[in-house]
Amino acid sequence: MRLPSVAKWQQAHHHHQNSRSWRTLLFVPIILLVGAFVHSCWQAGINRTVRWPAVWQRRHATMHHLRPKQGLLLVNSVVDARHPIVDLIQMGERVWQDKLQSQSKTLREAYDEYVRRYKRRPPRGFDKWWEWCRSSGVQLLDEYDQINRDLEFFWSVKPSELIAAQAELETHDFTHTIGKTREGGNITILAEHGAESRAQRQLELIDPIKEHLPPFRATWYAHDAAWFFTSWEIKEAGRKAVAAGTYVDISKTKVDPPRWSSACPPDSALHSFNWTNRLHDPDAYTKRSPKAFIADFFNSMDPCHNPDLIHLTTLNGLREGPDMIRTPFPLFARSKVHPYSDILGVPAEDPIDESPDSVSWHQKNDARLMWRGTTTGQVFNDGSPGWNMSHRLRFVQLANKKAGSVPVIPPPNKLDDPMHRPEEWQVSELNEFYFDVGLTGTLQCDPAQCDEIHAKYTFKDGIHAEVGRKYKYILDMDGNGWSSRFRRMMSRNSIVLKSTVYPEWWTDRSMPWVHYVPVNPDYGDIYDVMAFFRGLPNGTRGHDDLAKKIATAGRKWVDQFWREKDMTAYTWRLYLEYARVMSEDRSSMDFIM
């Protein structure tokens, strides 16, 4: 049925206005009901992209205070609310089930969902990718928002400019380029200026599907972290250009100074962050009020809205910020923090061990949180003041401290019980009960700083893998970039506490508080997390059953969502999208149903 034009409808409506006025009272409510129904259906479609804060606010699932931009849940100690971790676990389970159940089940549904999310058609080859994923048991086939986040800016750049920028990248030190030069050709290393073994591993990852990839040239940064740091002004101009269907003119954007806030929105907290008054005392964060827990892991990693991350993580070594880059370089990186604009790929250096762990939860006889590692993540020399705030050193210091006290929220007896008020505990007693933590060696430090670290911080022997399996709790934290240990830890039937500022390819495809426990890099939540699951040194019991549940779910998630095939599926989809945005004729690279 074709609707009449607005003008004709108005003319007819005016002609019959008097004769139809008596029906208005009946007709208007019907219109309102239909409108409400249509809006609810539209909103249901919008909400298929399951984001935690939106779902949380819609369901009113907690009496604590959610801060969506920061990704944090602030503890409300005024009302008789449940323990916040109870809310976090229960909401995480609901969101995860919503995500699983909302996935497309046919190619047609996947096509429509793609168009709904990204306002364009899928890339050519989407059907082959879909068929392979379905036959290979790949799940969550709608959840590739990270790829769109990474490539959206490049849609605003003329393909000729991107091609020139990529050609320049191929000549840079510490890069390697892989690709296919023609249809039907082999995928090979096209240029190599560092980390050939990493390039080779990328070839192995896409070898099973190489004949389905179009020609492309992908340049990877050889280091652990990212490189392409550009301003918010340029990114915002790009977003507007994409919305308008035009190209960005970067030459007309202002030149920003090299500081972190230059890559952040104007209203973000980092712009008003006082660098001279920032905390230099690692202990201060364990006593901050109100207490907070991570609710949205992705948002919690954003230093634009969580400025303390700048000097509490690997970012500390770059002081106020890296050099600003104006050329739109389509560079692939194995890990990156929020302000960077590199294209996030799948780090594939570590082999996938899909053999089951033989040590069950009840066979694990050490309920302390275990961590071992070296001093990566920071350069320690005279030119890096404030290195005592390095994330690894801070945690080693916290976990082995003997003096002082800290407030801890006691675990509830029953999950629905009101949260108890925090109790003051001696740090020495808590640390002995909760932690087995130590450095195994020093790296990236000048002799004077190495000596100082050895004198001030706790060192312990490394732990063999077989011994490590006996720990119920394991901490995973960043090194110089992303942590390559995470998958191995998740396969051990232990509960993994993860502290990071690096979103990864799997972040949207997992659920905190269901598969692992997120920990703030300031470690202000870690005593409360351990108290909730393990209990208190005085014999107050924690919720070992929930810790076991998360450990089991984490192991199952690794087995089902982080196989070699899942990594291949992500990389395949990424290169399909990338080949299109780099094409001189982008519309010819669309998949049309």
| Confidence tier at 383 by pLDDT (50, 70, 90) | confident
pTM for this model (two decimals): 0.89
pLDDT number for residue 293: 98
pLDDT number for residue 274: 74
pLDDT over threshold 50, residue 24: no
Residue spans of alpha helices (H) in 306-364 = 309-312
Comparing 1-10, 165-174, 252-261, 370-379, the range with the smallest average pLDDT is 1-10
User: How would DSSP label each residue in 519-547?
Assistant: --TT-TTHHHHHHHHHB-TTS-B--HHHH
Burial 93-121 (b: 16+ CB within 10 A, else e): ebbbeebeebebeebeebbebbeebbeeb
pLDDT over threshold 90, residue 432: yes
| C-alpha to C-alpha distance for 266 and 587, rounded to whole angstroms | 34
pLDDT number for residue 356: 62
- Average pLDDT score over residue span 546-561: 97
| Helix 84-101 vs helix 526-534: crossing angle, to nearest 10 | 80
pLDDT number for residue 20: 36
- State how far Cα 204 lies from the chain centre: 25
pLDDT number for residue 273: 83
Nearest by Cα to 250 from 189, 190, 164, 181: 164
pLDDT number for residue 79: 76
- Average pLDDT score over residue span 214-228: 95
Helix or strand run (H / E) with residue 31: helix 24-46
pLDDT over threshold 70, residue 42: no
317-348 pLDDT, tens per residue? 777 788 899 999 999 999 999 999 999 999 98
**pLDDT averaged over every residue in the chain:** 88
User: How would DSSP label each residue in 479-531?
Assistant: SSSS-TTHHHHHTTTSEEEEE-S---TTGGGS-BTTTBEE--TT-TTHHHHHH
| Confidence tier at 80 by pLDDT (50, 70, 90) | confident
pLDDT number for residue 279: 60
- The residue behind tokens 């990529």 is 166
Q: Which residue has the higher pLDDT, 282 or 450?
A: 450
123-181 pLDDT, tens per residue? 999 999 999 999 999 999 999 999 999 999 999 999 999 999 999 999 999 999 999 99
> Does residue 349 sit in helix, strand or coil?
coil
> Quick one: CA torsion of 188, 190, 192, 198, rounded to 10 degrees?
-30
Q: Give 380's strand partners.
A: 445
| 53-60 CB contacts, 8 Å cutoff, 24+ apart | 53/295, 53/296, 53/299, 55/91, 55/94, 55/95, 55/98, 56/91, 56/295, 59/91, 59/94
| C-alpha to C-alpha distance for 274 and 389, rounded to whole angstroms | 17
- Average pLDDT score over residue span 512-534: 98
pLDDT number for residue 44: 37
Nearest by Cα to 231 from 252, 247, 246, 210: 252
Q: Give 66's strand partners.
A: 73
pLDDT over threshold 80, residue 15: no
Alpha carbons within 13 A on the beta-carbon side of 493: 14
- Average pLDDT score over residue span 397-401: 97
pLDDT number for residue 386: 80
Largest CA distance in the chain: 95
- Average pLDDT score over residue span 79-83: 89
189-207 pLDDT, tens per residue? 999 998 899 999 999 999 9
Comparing 68-77, 143-152, 385-394, 451-460, the range with the smallest average pLDDT is 385-394
- Average pLDDT score over residue span 293-314: 94
pLDDT over threshold 90, residue 34: no
| 122-127 CB contacts, 8 Å cutoff, 24+ apart | 122/590, 122/591, 123/576, 123/577, 123/579, 123/580, 123/589, 123/590, 123/591, 124/214, 124/576, 124/580, 124/588, 124/589, 124/590, 124/591, 125/212, 125/213, 125/214, 125/576, 125/591, 126/576, 126/591, 127/591
Q: Which two tokens stand for residue 315?
A: 């970012």
pLDDT over threshold 70, residue 278: no
Q: Which residue has the higher pLDDT, 520 or 285?
A: 520
Q: Which residue has the higher pLDDT, 68 or 5?
A: 68
47-76 pLDDT, tens per residue? 334 455 555 555 446 889 999 999 999 999
| Confidence tier at 284 by pLDDT (50, 70, 90) | confident
Q: Which residues contact 297 (CB under 8 A, 6 or more apart)?
A: 71, 507, 512, 518
pLDDT over threshold 50, residue 231: yes
User: How would DSSP label each residue in 274-295?
Assistant: -GGGS---GGGGGG-SS-EEES
Q: What percent of the chain has pLDDT over 90?
A: 77
| Confidence tier at 28 by pLDDT (50, 70, 90) | very low
- Average pLDDT score over residue span 393-411: 96
